[in-house]
Amino acid sequence: MPKNKQAALPPKMLPGEVLRFEDVRLSFGELKILQGVSFSVFAGEFVILLGENGAGKSTLLRLANGLLKPDIGAVAVCGHDTRQVKTSLIAKEVGFLFQNPDRQIFNKTIREEIEFGMKLHGIPTRPSYTEFRIPDFALDDDPFTLSRGERQRVALASVLACEPRLMLLDEPTVGLDDSEARQLMDAVKRRQRENNAAVLLITHDLELANAYADRKLLLERGRVADADILSWEDFSAQA
Amino acid sequence: MLTYYPGKTFLHRLDPTLKVLFAFTISTACFVFANIFVLLGILLFEFLLALSCGLWKWGLRSILGLLKLCALLFVIQILTYGDGDVLLRLYGDWVITFEGAEIGLILTLRITASALPLALMLRVTKPTALANSLYRYLHIPYKYAFAFGMAMRFIPIFAEEMAEIMEAQTARGVELDTRSFFKKIRLLMPLCVPLLLSSVRKIETATISAELRGFGLRKRK
């Protein structure tokens, strides 16, 4: 049973809306993480979430796919109220990339790893592996022999291969060099446009945020606000 | 579950070696006595010790958790022990007896009461203080004492990592949020691979880091 007792009324979603936070509050013991977060993400939007370390960005992403349930308020994703459905049931529509790819990878080969989600959700199409710069000859290699950047690409490939309606990406470019980071972001942007999907991505890289975001959100003191941030000076001023 | 809980209570301040000996004494006592009331008394005493350290919620949860784990043993015991006065006739010659139920209950209480003191000792003792104390008073080679301290230090880290791995797989659609215990266990098996790999990597890094700073050079005076 969800901890949140307001579960009777599922939040209504607007046409095209894939994610809706409605006055979400969440605490860990005495620590108040989110204090009334409300925002929406629509299909075809590339939204970047900014905020200082420890602001609760990763927690917000976990709320978005139901891994965490709000204490108060509601989160609706792809027509589901996260308080009512299991995360594994909405995983087909909501792709989630964790900051550390090693939490996600466990199959013996890269091919099995990428196709794992597809098989689980009954998706027959073969993903274009080359899009993620994984040459075909390496597909039968052990993913744990790859570098961190390569493992991150494999983890992303396995998320994108399922063609989710909403992609939740937690700092996918951490540990990648500039060129690798841009190639990864290009791949995400391309898939997002092709499928008219929505992206909610966390990053600390303002250059990337300015280059790829349709909209930027700032999480500060437990609340989310639309942010027009172009530089770190702006970031400090808004924070 | 076994991470250090900071505090300044009597048990917190007691020397770690004494705490180990105390815990082992209580655990041994559980195997010496075969009386339900004595075992219940020991369990109550252990709960009071936890209460004195401000850990009554943890104590209660641990007792209930251990009792749940032992429930299977209890069931096996009463279903397989056929001697004594019949309590319930199940099918044909298959019976549950008073003696079987009593032995099952003693077994359950014994395991619960013997596990709790060691767990409580770990909760009120810093791993480094424990390792140092074992080395100083029990003359355990410091390499082993250090390894023990490190193992205790890594338990919560590994638990957190396992929780993250489970979250990551649930987010991919693996039904780890199922209520079925057995299904969860079956789904968890392949996920031990990333945990094992990261554990080995972490331990390897810690070992190299310790050796680079001169670990192993010290000789007992």
Domain boundaries, chain A: 17-104+164-238
Predicted pLDDT at A63: 94
Question: Above 90 in pLDDT, residue A198?
Answer: yes
- B79-107 confidence digits (pLDDT tens): 888 787 887 787 777 888 888 899 999 99
Which overall architecture, per CATH, does domain A17-104+164-238 show? Answer: 3-Layer(aba) Sandwich (3.40)
> Alpha carbon B140 to chain centroid distance?
22
From chain A, the residues in CB contact with B175 under 8 A are: 86, 88
Nearest chain B residue to A116, by CA: B172
> Considering only residues 156 to 215 of chain B, which have any Cβ-Cβ distance to chain A shorter than 8 Å?
161, 164-165, 167-178, 190-191, 193-194, 197-198
How does the average pLDDT of chain A come out, rounded? 85
Question: Above 60 in pLDDT, residue A164?
Answer: yes
How far apart, in Å, are the Cα atoms of A142 and each of A93, A134, A150, A176?
28, 13, 12, 20
Nearest chain A residue to B198, by CA: A102
Q: Cα separation of A41 and A231, whole Å?
A: 23
The DSSP output letter for A168 is E
Nearest chain B residue to A67, by CA: B167
Of the candidates A100, A104, A144, which has its C-beta nearest B172's C-beta?
A: A104
Q: Which of A30, A32, A31, A23 is nearest to A4 (CA)?
A: A23
Predicted pLDDT at A1: 42
Predicted pLDDT at A137: 62
Of the candidates A62, A96, A106, which has its C-beta nearest B191's C-beta?
A: A106
Q: Cα separation of B182 and A186, whole Å?
A: 42
Q: What SS3 state is found at B94?
A: strand
- Model confidence at B52, pLDDT cuts 50, 70, 90, reads very high
Question: Above 60 in pLDDT, residue A239?
Answer: no
d(CA B68, nearest CA chain A) in Å: 21
Predicted pLDDT at A57: 92
How many beta-carbon pairs below 8 A join chains A and B? 62
Of the candidates B177, B191, B194, which has its C-beta nearest A88's C-beta?
A: B177
* ipTM over 0.85 threshold: no
